[in-house]
Amino acid sequence: MSYRTASFLVLSFLAALGAVYIWFATGLTDSRNRASIGPAYFPIGLGILLLVLCALSAVQTVRRTDRPDLTFPNAGFVGLAIVATGTFLVAWRYLDSFYALTFVFAAGLMVAFAPKRDPKRVALYLGLAAVLTAVIYGLFGVIMQVRF
């Protein structure tokens, strides 16, 4: 995707966000009704500024003479990290085994990201993930008394 196209997409999204933000802000009222400086005053100003700046940035993007490309190297790995994190959070919510999940999450990412996956190295990655889980248990579970 080109930098230009991505810019227009993001700026359109932000402008829509600004419009929705203003719409929500107009519904805000101060129960004590003190003059016009209520809870909507600041947000409406921000929403309008966002729309103006998005329009300005879009014009500047049109006027740009260079045409850089927007690249996402290793997009598969980035996607994997995001999906794995999301899955980890869902599993954390529904399964009652936080430390086991943490071990699986860390070990899974280490193995997936590693350039070589022979049995010896995989054992090393599993060992490292176990050490990390133990550190988390010691630091958060024992010292900080965090209940997961």
Rounded least distance, CB 54 to another protein, Å: 7
Burial bucket for residue 38 (CB in 10 Å: 0-12, 13-18, 19+) = middle
123 binds another protein (CB under 8 A): no
Q: Map residue 70 onto helix, strand or coil.
A: coil
96 binds another protein (CB under 8 A): no
114 binds another protein (CB under 8 A): yes
49 binds another protein (CB under 8 A): yes
**Both tokens assigned to 18:** 């600004």
> Which position has the token pair 């994997």?
80
CB 109 within 8 A of CB 85: no
Based on DSSP, count helices (H) and strands (E) in the chain, helices before strands: 5, 0
Q: Where do contacts with another protein occur on this chain (CB under 8 A)?
A: 3, 6-7, 10, 14, 21, 24-25, 28-32, 34-39, 41-43, 46-47, 49-50, 53-54, 56-57, 60, 64-66, 70, 72-75, 77-78, 81-82, 85-86, 88-89, 92-93, 102, 105-106, 109-110, 113-115, 125, 128-129, 132, 136, 140, 144, 146-148
